[in-house]
Structure formats: C-alpha cells, structure tokens
Amino acid sequence: MSETDRFPGWHGTTIVAVRKGGRVAVVGDGQVSVGQTVMKGTARKVRRLSPGGSDVVCGFAGSTADAFTLLERLEAKLEASPGQLARACVDLAKDWRTDKYLRNLEAMLIVTDGSDLFIVTGAGDVLEPEHDIAAVGSGGNFALAAARALMDQDMDAEAIARRALGIAADICVYTNGNAVVEVIG
C-alpha cells in the first residue's frame, strides 16, 4: 500500500490576510477534507501567539500537526528575538528548509504582527505579499483575487478579508464559510 493510498489527498482551509488602515485581519475557514469528504467544518487555523508579550497572528494551511510544530518553532524564534518578526520568520524558514525532520512538514503560514505581513513556506520562502494581501490554502487564489478587487472599496481590513473568504467559499469546494477572525494593529 503506497503512502497516497493510506493518506488520500488532504485538502481544506483557506486563509486570507488583509492590511488596510493600520490594521491586519487574518481570516480562515474551518474546512478539512479528505478526498471528497468533509471531515471537519470548524477547524481553527487562525491563532494569536504572544511570545514575550508581543502579539503575533498566524494562519496556516496544510497539516494541522505540522503547522503546530512550526508555530511552536516560530514562537521560540520570537522569544529569542523579541519584536523582530522578519528575523524570526527567516530563521524559521532556514530551519524548515535545512532540518531533516522539518523538511517533511507540509503547511504554509501567514504571519503578522500588525505592521509586517509574511507568507512563510517550507521551500525557504519568506514573502512580503504585494497589495497588502496574503492568501494560502486550497481556496487561496480565489480569496486573493477577491480581496484585491475589494481593496478600493469603502471597507476595513476585516470586512474585506471576510468577504474574500466568502467568495472563495462560493467557488472552492475545499473552503467553507465558517470564518475565524483575528485582527491586529
């Protein structure tokens, strides 16, 4: 039995972050699917960390256990370099890419402290997204396109992110409308 036979295509979760008006809203849905079956509709994949007393909001797509491992590592990096989100993200990405164990983790992170906004990947990427919008996950591209279209509207960051997730949920079968929201800044 191959690995893909035992663990068929896991899909699910759309995370979108929008920075506007000095605030960043990170919104995620709660869907986890295995193949064509929704296993859970209320997973919480947007979290607030407070390492060293500084608030950081993270959203993740991919394996939940893998993401929690990465969040623990990120928290340790932030405690070692308080207030230096970019440095902590770069250090995490370096470890993630070079460590034999971490290299196998399957997740993507959106991380913000209210001023900086990054997408962190296992390929060693620490990306500052263009247009003050970041999106990852199964419906990430749908949410990204929707948020970009809404940015010039008279809406705040949270309203744009919520609406973008709703649009992604209408299009992507691996995304639902059970929004979890964290706002920072």
Give pLDDT tens digits for 53-99. 779 999 999 888 888 899 999 999 999 988 899 999 999 999 988 88
Q: Determine the distance from the C-alpha atom of residue 25 to the mean position of all C-alpha atoms in its chain, rounded to a whole number.
A: 11
Are β-strands 32-34 and 23-28 bridged in parallel, bridged antiparallel, or unpaired? unpaired
Catalytic-role residue among 13, 64, 112, 175 = 13
Is 13 a residue of the active site?
yes
The candidate with the shortest Cα–Cα distance to 96, out of 128, 125, 62, is 125
Kindly report the pTM of this predicted structure: 0.91
- Average the pLDDT over each of 43-57, 123-137, 141-155 and give the range with the smallest value: 43-57
- Of the pLDDT bands very low, low, confident and very high (cuts 50, 70, 90), residue 9 is low
The mean of the pLDDT values for the chain is 90
**120: pLDDT strictly greater than 50:** yes
